[in-house]
Structure 1
Amino acid sequence: MHQNKKIIDVDLKRWATEKKINKSSITLLMTFLRQSPDFRTIFYYRTRGAIAHLLNIYCRKQTNFTIDIRTKIGGGILTGHPYCTILNANSIGENFYVNHLVTVGEVNGKRPTIGNNVSIYTGAIVIGDITIGDNCQIGAGAVVVKDVPNNAVVVGNPAKIVKLDGIKVNKSNTKKNV
């Protein structure tokens, strides 16, 4: 539980920063558990066990936001209205942001690995035995079925890199499908 407490503290700090709330950790925890079903889902995922099951009787988690129990998620996860969102990855790094209608999932039993500081926006699909590098942004509606390098912005179906290492990818340096 000690390691989980550290990760939950990182989650709380990220949520507090995003929501511009300056309170103690315990006050933040009580506030987010009471007012935010998506935070409850993350908290119950982190605590898995008797405490989570007991709390879920009184404060229901968000049932349309699913985190597979095999998925390892670093601290600092933040959600933006994760309605109909599924997270089923090998691992997801620190400071992950996910929006609604996102699917991170498996193909033939193989699941994605997602790096640190990754944001996945509305309606994106990230599936299969692929790696999303650190500091990446997956645009709304993107369908990603191949590896994405560090520091990339990808959009479209099929997903294409439109920015790499802060530099726009244009016609002269051909876009690569990912």
Structure 2
Amino acid sequence: MTLQRTLPTQSPRLLMKPGGSQTGIVDGAWWPQSNDLASEMPALQDALDPILGRIGRVAYSRQEWPLAPSSVSINGHPVKLDGYRFQARQTLNVQGVNGRTVAILLISPEASSDTAHAILRVAAQPHDVSTVADLLDPQSSTLLRHQEGLAAQQSWESEGGRSAQRTGLNTQTEQS
């Protein structure tokens, strides 16, 4: 009997490189729902909890969130929000209370889902060393190669092929 796993009903909004991957400018990418950093923090905390535990501090560019408060409370725990003029644009540095920090590429909430998903997937590849500018440039060779790969996969599937990821099938089988 083939085991099936349940796929999430929502698209991923945060993808991170696998644990221990220390390559590239960013450790992953985040596509928030809005431009309101304070209201987005609970979702970011939920997504990063397995990696960082509780978030203690977030450094961001004031150009992207000029009206963010200096702190928020998430589940009764304070999180310091530090806006800097010289923080790299389109990035966040998120520090857990355990001291571990991750650099996250910020994708505009207005980005199309195709563009956002391509950026999320490329930024989360273990050996990706793209710059922030390359990841956010829709004409970058890295994103174009990724999108060509997705188009080829979709073509293959439309002609009757199926990938295990798209069907939700796990390749392991259970003996009855």
TM-score category by the smaller chain?
Answer: 0.3 to 0.5
TM-score w.r.t. the length of structure 2 is: 0.32
Query: Over alpha carbons, which structure has the higher Rg?
Result: 2
TM-score w.r.t. the length of structure 1 is: 0.32
Q: Relative contact order (C-alpha < 8 Å, sep 6+): which is higher?
A: 2
